[in-house]
Amino acid sequence: MSLKDLTDPKAVVAAIEEFDQLGKDGFLDKYGFGVAKDYFVVYDDKNYDSKAIAGAAHGNQHGVPLGKDDFSGGDATVATQLEKLGFTVTRPESLPDWSNDELILALDLYLATRGAMGYGKTTKEVVDLSNLLRALVIFPSHVRQNPKFRNPSGVALKLHNFEAIDPSHQGAGMPHGSQADQRTWDLWAQRPDELKAVAVAIRAIGTSPDAAIDTGEDEEGGSEEGRALYRMHRHLERDRSLVARKKKSVLAQTGRLACEVCDFESSEIYGAEARGVIDVHHVAPLYVMGVSTTKLADLALVCPTCHRVVHRHSPLITPGQLRAMRSTL
């Protein structure tokens, strides 16, 4: 019999359940498989060694498990067969590009050390950063569980990429980094204190469940300070209690709920049914928002159009700055 005889998805699920019961080491020892390096079957947002799962699943269906030498792993065999049964299988090329958050944390470490302790895969600072990046909830957990995802070797390489960009570095570093590396350097290298504050906020917020909230927007395009802080920022702006308090305060003071940028007031154009249709924007920088208590003075009323323009601007600007820009057009 061969791997092609594995046709029952329930047999695969049973193998996964046994994997959970025995633990990774116990399961691999029982069936005689080595640790997977690249290909993992994803189930309930967890990664499982795909070849071992397939071999055990064959036994669940046909009574005879397949051993490691009975079939080859990889794209054309295990991955394809499991996908035919409706499962998702990760591949080596599926690792995402470095996000703004991760590049900020890496550059912060680089500027703090400038290579003084060396950047090896066993260097404590490199290992610590690797562990942090793997804990950030800006990517799904099955991606972060991939052993190659932001492992110490990859983190060390990224730090060497910054060496190649740094004009003060004596040596070549590791050239051929990404355009995002250069963009991050250009944006932050001359603002080390602010970079440090952003890094501190990412470290404080990035592993929080709130950082995983999907805003349904292009966070990277609208936030130089990273995805985790942007998601927390938008989560805060949609806090019903805060929004209601801000609108009530402005209405009591001005009698209108007008955009602080363009003065648009929805009910004046569309009637009473549109009264109150306006966004609340958090004015403070994202990293300040992440470590402080929000006051009503930190919030501004902006129409949806002006709000989107504010968020799309990099670096992020305030409604007052957008109003000033608008007056010159």
pLDDT at 230 over 70: yes
- Same domain membership, residue 21 and residue 116: no
Task: Record the tokens describing residue 231, joined without a space.
Answer: 């998601």
pLDDT at 217 over 80: no
pLDDT of residue 52: 96
How many other β-carbons are positioned within 10 Å of the β-carbon of residue 68? 15
pLDDT digits (tens, 9 = 90+) for 14-33: 999 999 999 999 999 999 99
pLDDT of residue 220: 43
pTM across the whole model: 0.64
- Same domain membership, residue 209 and residue 108: yes
pLDDT at 309 over 70: yes
Contact 95, 26 (CB under 8 A): no
Closest-CA residue to 39 (of 171, 175, 188, 145)? 145
pLDDT band at 2 (very low <50, low <70, confident <90, very high): confident
Whether 37 is covered by a domain: the verdict is yes
pLDDT at 221 over 50: no
Whether 221 is covered by a domain: the verdict is no
- Same domain membership, residue 30 and residue 109: no
Mean pLDDT, rounded, for 202-207: 84
Whether 226 is covered by a domain: the verdict is no
| Secondary structure string (H, E, C) spanning 5-32 | HCCCHHHHHHHHHHHHHHHHHHHHHHHC
How many other β-carbons are positioned within 10 Å of the β-carbon of residue 30? 14
pLDDT digits (tens, 9 = 90+) for 86-140: 999 987 766 888 999 999 999 999 999 987 778 888 999 999 999 999 999 888 8
Last residue of a domain, one of 94, 113, 137: 94
Which residue(s) pair with 89 in the sheet?
Answer: 41
Containing structural domain, residue 303: 238-327
pLDDT of residue 186: 94
Q: Based on the structure, what is the number of domains in the chain?
A: 3
pLDDT digits (tens, 9 = 90+) for 139-167: 888 788 888 899 999 999 999 999 999 99
Task: Record the tokens describing residue 29, joined without a space.
Answer: 């020892």
- Same domain membership, residue 204 and residue 114: yes
